[in-house]
Amino acid sequence: MSDKTILRALRGEVLPTPPVWMMRQAGRYLPEYRATRAQAGDFLSLCYNSELAAEVTLQPIRRYGFDAAILFADILLLPQALGVDLWFETGEGPRMSTTTTPAELAALKGRDDIHDTLAPIYETVRILRRELPSETTLIGFAGAPWTVATYMIAGRGTRDQGPAHALKATDRATFAGIIDRLTEATIEYLAKQVEAGAEVVKLFDSWAGSLKGQDFEDFAVAPTARIIAELKARFPGLPVIAFPREAGEGYVGFAKKTGADCVAIDNSVSAEWAAANVQKDGCVQGNLDPRHMVTGGDALVEATRAVVRAFSKGPHIFNLGHGITPDADPENVALMVETIRKG
């Protein structure tokens, strides 16, 4: 069995020092990322340029020696592979052609027709498995169906996922059809990442927190459980991290209900609460407030130590509660890593 620290934590081992990586660790806060992105032209061109995508994935590993690298790509590449138009408005974020009618749902490509578009992503994974240090774990990922659907239905990011909730209320069949098609395509997408060399996969459900009650069970828990069951049937022992962001009480029992090996925790709940209520069932990842990467100083050191301490009695992978922001100072990241490793 591999002795990579991330894989050990995912098997439930309690390590003296938690392994660490960061969401959005390859990103605009790093000058070397901005340079490579400029070389590629734009963000999407960078995602589909396997050599340059591998290069930006490696940059934070060289700088900080993180225990995991996460494939450089985006959760919105899968809908693009299903035939949706996708572009990024500078300074604003993603824009897509909308999928809200039975005809638009029917026009999406089949789950086996996504790989032509996504082949460069699988090539990035293969390059990374060759080039990463032997102690670094490679994480592949996809968006969870609900979160990806919120973008497909609205055609953009939204504060409250209003358009997706509205479609769920007015045309449940089409809404559920979008979730099903995404669930099936996500299984095939992640399976190809694993075949190419991803050692762990992570499902990002960034908008899980806006699903309440039975909707949370039907559209956050159930699709995640289905994806994990199918992947584990095809790849026995494959570790899976699930991130139902801002799920609150929904974090409790999420690993058991979905089969996830690790639940990633955002910073809207305290580490103490998550240790008592979520880590009791297995590995957790998280949950330092990403603002500390901007503000730094003693508060960063104290908050980092507090997260390590709160999760020290169970399996834990140190991470931020959400992605690092472009205004972060790279020196603060170094201080966080040093604090975790040197105490």
Binding residues for substrate: 24-28, 74, 151, 206, 322
DSSP assignments along 222-272, one per residue: HHHHHHHHHHHHHSTT--EEEEETT-GGGGTTHHHHH--SEEE--TTS-HH
CA 235-283-333 angle, to 5 degrees, is 105
24 has catalytic annotation: yes
The amino acid at residue 306 is: A
| 311 forms part of the interface with ligand CP3 (CB under 6 A) | no
The amino acid at residue 321 is: G
| 206 forms part of the interface with ligand CP3 (CB under 6 A) | yes
Nearer to ligand CP3, 94 or 314 (CB): 94
Q: Tell me which stretch binds ligand CP3 (CB under 6 A): 74-82, 127-135, 257-265, 305-313.
A: 74-82
Question: Annotated catalytic residue: which of 33, 48, 151, 251?
Answer: 151
DSSP assignments along 158-174, one per residue: -SS-HHHHHHHHH-HHH
Question: Annotated catalytic residue: which of 8, 37, 181, 245?
Answer: 37
Residue 59 beta carbon to ligand CP3: minimum distance, rounded to whole angstroms:
10
Q: Which of residues 127-146 bind ligand CP3 (CB under 6 A)?
A: 141
Q: Are strands 262-264 and 283-288 parallel, antiparallel or unpaired?
A: parallel
Question: Quick one: which H or E segment has residue 48?
Answer: helix 43-48
37 has catalytic annotation: yes
Nearer to ligand CP3, 94 or 163 (CB): 94
Task: Locate 305 and state its tokens.
Answer: 């130590």
| 110 forms part of the interface with ligand CP3 (CB under 6 A) | no
Dist. CA 278–CA 140, nearest whole Å: 23
Distance of CA 208 to the CA centre of its chain: 13
Nearer to ligand CP3, 78 or 335 (CB): 78
64 has catalytic annotation: no
The residue to which tokens 């996708």 are assigned = 86
Residue 170 beta carbon to ligand CP3: minimum distance, rounded to whole angstroms:
24
Q: Which of residues 31-70 bind ligand CP3 (CB under 6 A)?
A: 37, 43, 70
Dist. CA 326–CA 21, nearest whole Å: 17
Q: Measuring CA to CA, which residue among 2, 88, 25 is closest to residue 323?
A: 25
Nearer to ligand CP3, 26 or 308 (CB): 26
Catalytic residues: 24, 28, 37, 74, 151
Task: Please give the residue ranges that form the binding site for ligand CP3 (CB under 6 A).
Answer: 23-28, 37, 43, 70, 72-76, 93-94, 141, 157, 204, 206, 323
